[in-house]
């Protein structure tokens, strides 16, 4: 990687400011948990795994900066910090998961001296960071098997290094294939309304010398018609028990188009994304986002001010349109209701 999303450096957390991309590559340094909380809220950092790691580092900063003189005071400080961090993006599953992992850790180690505990909390946060990096690498190694010499792949949104501590989920196979000296091309959908594709995916692939071409979302079908796409590779926010895939709005349309053009459709996500509790995708509530995301572009109105807007943030791709799901544990094929259960066990 020719950049990093976030790192622990000299008692502080350093993060690339994603709000400034693609125009400027700026790294910000955070010395307190409160600063990290604000960075999560303000979208300095985004992407579920990256937010989780940022929050774990936030907990480590709180531990490190604590002046508590006894365990009770320390635990109160830490729990307050945990609550503050989780409240920044209440729907982010990884955020709560990472914070709770740190909490579970210190709650089960109450007999250790405070200084030891403080150091071990940092080690736990660094472990979360490491594990995320390793999962990314493993998804990349498995996913790279699907990248064939000379072929072109379409991706949507940003499931890349910028969304994780490591090499990303859906983009990790590209980085791995590049390391293996395979030649291939990537097409990136710009991903309206929030433009994660043009702003982030194009930036990070270009930064790492991967051959990437930007299109608007509505050009994908024409590329497929022209025979220029040999596979679609996307990430996922949630994969439910039957293999239905919840991901950024526009994913479902790409899956239908891929099927119509007999192009494989791959999903790359860590096994933590698999939710066996939810039987099918139709049971997932889809968040609707503010209409201004659609009616304004960088602050300039693109539509009449009184227009009605439908702005769902995600869609559900039914499992029968999914060719394979790549996790850090390996590639999973249909029938997903069986193979997903196996990989989670």
- Residues annotated catalytic, as ranges: 237
Q: Is 284 in the site for its own copies (CB under 8 A)?
A: no
Q: How far is the CB of 228 from its own copies (least distance, A)?
A: 9
Q: Is 198 in the site for its own copies (CB under 8 A)?
A: yes
Q: Which stretch binds its own copies (CB under 8 A): 90-98, 125-133, 134-142, 189-197?
A: 189-197
Q: Is 195 in the site for its own copies (CB under 8 A)?
A: yes
- Asked if 204 and 162 touch (Cβ cutoff 8 Å), the reply is yes
The site map against its own copies for 299-338 (x = CB under 8 A) is -xxxxx-xxxxxxx--xx----------------------
Give the CA angle between residues 162, 163, 169 to the nearest 5°. Answer: 105
**Choice from 20, 183, 222, 341 touching its own copies (CB under 8 A):** 222
Is 312 in a helix, a strand, or coil? strand
Strand order, beta sheet including 238-240: 274-275, 238-240, 245-248, 314-317
CB atoms within 10 A of CB 259: 16
Which among 56, 34, 165, 48 has a CA at the least distance from the CA of 102? Answer: 56
Q: Is 295 in the site for its own copies (CB under 8 A)?
A: yes
How many residues form the binding site for its own copies (CB under 8 A)?
Answer: 54
Q: How far is the CB of 158 from its own copies (least distance, A)?
A: 12
Report 19-38 residues binding its own copies (CB under 8 A).
22-23
**Rounded distance, CA 226 to CA 273, Å?**
34
Q: Is 339 in the site for its own copies (CB under 8 A)?
A: no
**Rounded distance, CA 279 to CA 283, Å?**
8
Residue 287 burial class via C-beta count within 10 angstroms: exposed 0-12, middle 13-18, buried 19 and up? exposed
Specify the residue, 76 or 320, whose C-beta has the smaller distance to its own copies: 320
Residue 116 burial class via C-beta count within 10 angstroms: exposed 0-12, middle 13-18, buried 19 and up? exposed
Q: How far is the CB of 250 from its own copies (least distance, A)?
A: 3
Binding site for its own copies (CB under 8 A): 22-23, 187, 189-193, 195, 198-199, 202-203, 206, 211-223, 225, 249-250, 252-253, 256-257, 259-260, 294-295, 297-298, 300-304, 306-312, 315-316
């Amino acid at each position: 990687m020719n950049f990093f999303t976030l790192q622990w450096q000299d008692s502080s957390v350093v993060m690339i400011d994603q709000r400034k991309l693609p125009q400027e590559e700026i790294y910000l340094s955070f010395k307190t948990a409160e600063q990290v909380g604000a960075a999560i809220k303000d979208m300095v950092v985004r992407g579920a795994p990256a937010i989780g790691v940022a929050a774990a580092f936030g907990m480590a900063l709180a531990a490190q900066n604590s002046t508590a003189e006894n365990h009770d005071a320390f635990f109160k400080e830490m729990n307050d910090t945990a609550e503050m961090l989780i409240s920044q993006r209440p729907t982010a599953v990884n955020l709560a998961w990472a914070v709770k992992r740190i909490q579970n850790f210190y709650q089960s180690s109450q007999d250790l001296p405070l200084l030891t505990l403080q150091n071990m909390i940092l080690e736990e946060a660094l472990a979360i960071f490491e594990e995320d990096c390793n999962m990314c690498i493993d998804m990349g190694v498995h996913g790279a098997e699907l990248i064939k010499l000379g072929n072109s792949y379409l991706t949507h949104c940003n499931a890349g290094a910028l969304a994780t501590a490591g090499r990303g989920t859906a983009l990790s196979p590209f980085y791995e294939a590049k390391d293996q000296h395979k030649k291939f091309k990537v097409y990136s959908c710009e991903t309206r309304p929030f433009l994660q594709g043009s702003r982030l995916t194009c930036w990070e692939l270009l930064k790492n010398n991967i051959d990437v071409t930007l299109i608007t979302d509505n050009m994908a079908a024409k590329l497929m018609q022209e025979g220029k796409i040999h596979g679609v590779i996307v990430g996922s926010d949630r994969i439910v028990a039957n293999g239905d895939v919840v991901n950024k709005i526009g994913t479902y349309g790409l899956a239908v188009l891929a099927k119509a053009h007999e192009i494989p459709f791959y999903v790359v996500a860590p096994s933590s994304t698999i939710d066996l509790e939810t039987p099918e995708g139709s049971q997932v509530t889809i968040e609707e986002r503010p209409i201004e995301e659609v009616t304004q572009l960088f602050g300039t109105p693109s539509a009449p001010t009184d227009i009605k807007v439908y702005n769902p943030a995600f869609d559900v791709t039914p499992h029968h349109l999914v060719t394979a799901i790549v996790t850090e544990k390996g590639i999973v094929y249909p029938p997903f209701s069986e193979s997903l259960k196996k990989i989670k066990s």
